[in-house]
Amino acid sequence: MPEGAADAYTKGFSVHTFMTEEQLAHYRRQSRSDFIAIVLVTEGELVCKVNLRECVARKNNVVLLSPGQVKQLVHLEPGTRISMLSFTPGFITAMGFPKQFSELVEYLSSATDQLWELESGDMRTLMVLLRQLSAYTKQTSAHNYGKELLYHQFSIFLYEMAGFRKKYTQRLTAVVSRKENLLLRFSSLVKKHYKKQRSVLAYARQLHVTAKYLSATVKELTGQTAGEMIDEQVLLEARYCLHDPDTTIAEIAHHLNFPDPSVFGKFFKRHTGVTPMSYRRQQLM
């Protein structure tokens, strides 16, 4: 729910400024959602895991969290102040925002630059906008133009984020931008179809490029091959499922579209060095 929203809740959108320990307690458990989240750290330091990888965010850092990612707050330094804006891609569609916002949302949904180190003035700019957004969530019903004010303020926030993207990420040339666009489209397809489709060639055909060009582009921008990115997504889901002791290995294999548990077990051990059951025991110890 938006901060102080009461009956003025806009579906698929929430904003929290200076979150309390109680509000953050939920994030200490592994979780996933369909929200895009923009986390602002204005004081202190936090340690979180995103897709099981550790991420450290300090003062004036912005963390981008994508839909479907496995997220967990690991440690919060005393005195840390965090604010967060979250929304679904569907919220953007419902608002009827122009095409450039859809492109920005696609970037935020698949961002490879997950942590931005902002200058203090830029962080203050975002916090001013976030406080105003928080205020508008409380009057979307009470004010005759409450929703319009909220949408307008949100569009300003997104414009600022678009500008900061160019300022704080490294891939700026036209040639690399085309490659980045291909990477984002590939990443989006993988997140949707990894359970049933693991062929690089099949993804390349959908993207109208050769498998060789796709793998070379992905390798250039991420350091991984296209096949490794697909396998990584499968392994992430496998690990997430293995944390639930009530889900059997056979059920996980079926969920990930492996022909049988044995094939799944060999795949998992080849990439992790341990069997699925051994991994589960390690996590539950």
- pLDDT tens for 228-283 read 999 988 988 898 888 888 899 999 999 999 999 999 999 999 999 999 999 888 87
Confidence of residue 3 (pLDDT cuts 50, 70, 90): very low
pLDDT score for 111: 55
- Cα 111 from Cα 162, distance rounded (Å): 12
| 129-173 pLDDT per residue, tens | 999 998 888 776 667 777 788 888 888 898 888 888 778 775 434
Give this prediction's pTM: 0.67
Whether residue 276 contacts residue 238, with contact meaning beta carbons closer than 8 Å, is answered with yes
pLDDT score for 250: 94
Whether residue 45 contacts residue 77, with contact meaning beta carbons closer than 8 Å, is answered with yes
Q: Which domains does the chain have, with CATH numbers?
A: 13-168 (2.60.120.280), 178-284 (1.10.10.60)
In sequence order, the 6+-apart residues with CB closer than 8 A to the CB of 69 are 32, 50, 51
Q: Token pair of 143, please?
A: 């004010």
- Cα 137 from Cα 14, distance rounded (Å): 8
Confidence of residue 7 (pLDDT cuts 50, 70, 90): very low
Give backbone dihedrals phi and psi of 93, rounded to 5 degrees, phi first: -60, -45
Confidence of residue 1 (pLDDT cuts 50, 70, 90): very low
